Every structure is written in structure tokens, then in C-alpha cells.
């Protein structure tokens, strides 16, 4: 990966001519969030809540913005990764957070590899395990390229545009009741806290919160001079994720509104097929593969970025550590299969990790040894604080009311 550059190199001028880098970081975060779980969650919750799921999406976007703006900004200003900021806030906290994120990233990557295998299975007809191995080879190939960072950025952008474009096609084919969706997004029939925390956890929880911020830091996009570009990149990433969520929601809503039965064994595939027939099913395969492979790349890259400052060996062999991470995920899937209960548990816990990481970042924003003479905007602190409180409350509710049901 590219080495971190010094902020005193006149970055501001360079950043304006390098929109590709900022867009790449935005898409890395967005496509890391848009994985197999993202497709399944959106479809399942739409089936349960119908048009009222629009309110869940709206709330998750608001909470996402509150989290990402703060995290990306402090990473850029401090020129430090999340785990290093945490260790400066409270000694040892960075190691604890890094452990949670790396373990969660590995668990999710098993599911991402499984999703990639399923996508190839739909497209080419090979077994899911064969498809997973083929996908792992492609992901590893990206990190073997000389300029791996740029290759990762370009691949994330291309895959993101493909996913959104194809899902828009399916959304039109399903003819959803758009007017009802807009109304229920503001005045829902039901507010589902479990759905909100699951969406927020899957969109900016765990490693995803730091994917884009760490990518910009690795590319030298840091310091107070870079803040306008960092903000633009973070908001773009949230916007891309929101577009995908909305169009997938509308596609599923169209099927639900028609009263058609969605196959519980593979809800998103069922939606695509019911909306557009066999062509829709093939489209699902492409979307699933693109969503999964980009999440494999994002999870591996960001998870390793959380441990490389703790080990010079990892830092000096970052590419190969990332490749080992991908290989381990693939091997576990090939031998054991997808551990569904573990993946669901980790997905929910991602939403619980967010209050810890965000609260740590907010504290760090007011420590001179971390940010120097930088003054963090009060409105961002308040916004971030609200996200911490809301996610803590909903996370507690989830632990008490919902997670035990997974093991009954």
C-alpha cells in the first residue's frame, strides 16, 4: 500500500486534482458496507415492515452521517489510525478495539467469501466453494498489483456503479409504490429498533467506520488542510450506500406490494427473479458477487490496518498479511461453511462496537496531544454524542430482547 505522506507537503492543492482518490475512499467504505448481509437484511426487513422500512433507512442514514463525519475528520486531523487514537485516549483501549474489529472482520469475511461463491454459482453454475476460491484469487490479485491502493480504489468504484445500475433496473421492473414509501419514511406504521441498529451496524459499525478514513490516511490525505476533501469523501460514501439501500428497498417493496411470496432461503435472489425473471436472477448473481468481493477487499484491508501499527512485521509486509487474511477466510468457508449464527451475532455486535469507537473519537477530538490546536465543531460533537446515546440504548435493547432469540 502507499506509505503515509507528510501533511506539510502542500496536500490541499494536490487533493483538488485527485478526485479519484477521494471517490475511491468513499466507494471503499460504501462497498465494504454493501455485502451479502446488506442485501439480505434489506430484503428481509422490507418483507417485515413494508413501506415503513423507509423510516429505518432514513434514521440509519442520519446516524451514519453523525458517525462518519466525526471519525473521518479526527483521523485526518490527528494523522493517526483509530486504534492509535484509542490508545492515546486510554492506554490499552486501542488493542481492545482492534481485537474486536479484526475478529469481527474475519467472521464477516467468511460470509463475504460465501456470498462471492454464491454469486459465481448463479452466474457460471459452478459450486459455491469453487466460486469462492475463484473470487479469492481475484481479490488477492488486486493486492499483488504494484499500486494496490489505486487498483483497490478503481475496483471499488467500478463494482459500486455496477451494483447500483443493475439494482435500479430491478427496482423499475418491480414497480414499487414510491408515493407510499415516501410517506411511510416520514410517518411509519411501526418503528423497529432492531432493524435500525442492524442497518447502522452493517453500514458504519465495526471496521466499516474506519475503512475510508484509514484509506485516505494511507494515501497522505490528512491534516487540517485536507478537511474539506475528507468531509466530501465521507459524505459521498454515505450517499452511495444510501442509494443502494433505497433502490434495493424499492425493488423488494414492489414484490411485497404485489403480494408475491419471497423465498426465505434466499430473499434477495427471490426478489430479483420475481421482478425480472431469469434475467433478474442472473443480475442478482452479478450484484451479489460485486457486493461480496468488494466487502472481502474492504474487510481485509481495514482489519489489517488496525494491527499494522502494533507490529513492524505486519507493517512491512502489509500486502501479504492482507492476502493471508483473505486466504484464512476462504479456507474456513471451504472447510466449515458459513457459520450463520456467528455472522448474525457479529452483525448485531457491530452496532454495539460503534458507540465505543465513536465515543473514543469524540473524546480524542478534545485532547491536544491527539489533535493539537484543532477546534472540533460543537455541532459535530453534539451530533456524534446523540449517535452514541441512541446506539447504546438500542444496542442494550438488542442484547436483552433480540440476541437470545438467535440461540433458541
Distance CA 357, CA 86 (A): 8
Please give the pLDDT value at position 344: 53
pLDDT tens-digit series, residues 102-143: 887 888 888 889 889 989 999 999 988 899 999 999 999 999
Give yes or no for a contact between 153 and 27, defined as CB atoms under 8 angstroms apart: yes
Please give the pLDDT value at position 314: 87
CATH for 11-407 (1.20.1740.10, 1.10.10.1100, 3.40.50.300, 3.40.50.10810): 1.20.1740.10
Please give the pLDDT value at position 3: 45
Distance CA 323, CA 402 (A): 35
Distance CA 87, CA 241 (A): 30
Q: Is 401 exposed, middle or buried (0-12, 13-18, 19+ CB in 10 A)?
A: exposed
Q: Quote helix, strand, coil % in the chain, to nearest 5.
A: 80, 0, 20
Mean pLDDT of all residues belonging to the chain: 85
Read out DSSP for 83-117? HHHHHHHSTTHHHHHHHHHHHHHHHHHHHHHHHHH
Residue 347: pLDDT over 80: no
Distance CA 262, CA 95 (A): 43
Long-range pairs for 277-280 at CB < 8 Å and ≥24 separation?
Answer: 280/170, 280/173
CA angle (291, 295, 298) in 5-degree steps:
145
- Cα torsion for 313, 318, 319, 322, to the nearest 10°? 100
Mean pLDDT of 197-206: 75
pTM: 0.84
CB atoms closer than 10 angstroms to residue 382: 12
Residue 75: pLDDT over 80: yes
**How far does Cα 31 stand from its chain's mean position?**
6
Please give the pLDDT value at position 312: 87
Distance CA 268, CA 72 (A): 31
Say which range, 10-14, 126-130, 322-326, 389-393, has the weakest mean pLDDT: 10-14
Amino acid at each position: 500500500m502507499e506509505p503515509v505522506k507528510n501533511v506539510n507537503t502542500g496536500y490541499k492543492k494536490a487533493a483538488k486534482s485527485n478526485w479519484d482518490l477521494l471517490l475511491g475512499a468513499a466507494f471503499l467504505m460504501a462497498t465494504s458496507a454493501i455485502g451479502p448481509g446488506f442485501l439480505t437484511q434489506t430484503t428481509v426487513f422490507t418483507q417485515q415492515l413494508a413501506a415503513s422500512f423507509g423510516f429505518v433507512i432514513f434514521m440509519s442514514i442520519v446516524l451514519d452521517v453523525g458517525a462518519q463525519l466525526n471519525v473521518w475528520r479526527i483521523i485526518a486531523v490527528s494523522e493517526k489510525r483509530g486504534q492509535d487514537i484509542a490508545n492515546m485516549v486510554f492506554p490499552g483501549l486501542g488493542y481492545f478495539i482492534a481485537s474486536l474489529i479484526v475478529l469481527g472482520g474475519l467472521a464477516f469475511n467468511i460470509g463475504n467469501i460465501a456470498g462471492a461463491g454464491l454469486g459465481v454459482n448463479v452466474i457460471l453454475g459452478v459450486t459455491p466453494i469453487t466460486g469462492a476460491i475463484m473470487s479469492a484469487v481475484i481479490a488477492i490479485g488486486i493486492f499483488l498489483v504494484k499500486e494496490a491502493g489505486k487498483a483497490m480504489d478503481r475496483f471499488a468504484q467500478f463494482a459500486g456503479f455496477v451494483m447500483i445500475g443493475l439494482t435500479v433496473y430491478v427496482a423499475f421492473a418491480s414497480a414499487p409504490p414510491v408515493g407510499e414509501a415516501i410517506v411511510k419514511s416520514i410517518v411509519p406504521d411501526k418503528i423497529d429498533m432492531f432493524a435500525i441498529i442492524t442497518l447502522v451496524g452493517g453500514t458504519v459499525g465495526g471496521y466499516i467506520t474506519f475503512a475510508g478514513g484509514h484509506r485516505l490516511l494511507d494515501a497522505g490525505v490528512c491534516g487540517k488542510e485536507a478537511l474539506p476533501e475528507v468531509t466530501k469523501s465521507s459524505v459521498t460514501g454515505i450517499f452511495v450506500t444510501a442509494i443502494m439501500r433505497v433502490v434495493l428497498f424499492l425493488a423488494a417493496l414492489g414484490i411485497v406490494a404485489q403480494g408475491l411470496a419471497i423465498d426465505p432461503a434466499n430473499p434477495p435472489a427471490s426478489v430479483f427473479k420475481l421482478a425480472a425473471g431469469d434475467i433478474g436472477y442472473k443480475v442478482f448473481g452479478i450484484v451479489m458477487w460485486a457486493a461480496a468481493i468488494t466487502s472481502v477487499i474492504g474487510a481485509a484491508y481495514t482489519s489489517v490496518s488496525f494491527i499494522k501499527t502494533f507490529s513492524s512485521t505486519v507493517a512491512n509486509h502489509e500486502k501479504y498479511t492482507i492476502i493471508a487474511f483473505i486466504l484464512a477466510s476462504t479456507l474456513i468457508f471451504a472447510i466449515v461453511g458459513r457459520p450463520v449464527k456467528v455472522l448474525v451475532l457479529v452483525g448485531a455486535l457491530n452496532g454495539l462496537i460503534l458507540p465505543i469507537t465513536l465515543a473514543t473519537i469524540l473524546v480524542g477530538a478534545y485532547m491536544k496531544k491527539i489533535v493539537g490546536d484543532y477546534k472540533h465543531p460543537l455541532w459535530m460533537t453534539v451530533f456524534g454524542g446523540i449517535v452514541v446515546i441512541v446506539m447504546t440504548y438500542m444496542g442494550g435493547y438488542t442484547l436483552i430482547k433480540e440476541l437470545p432469540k438467535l440461540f433458541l
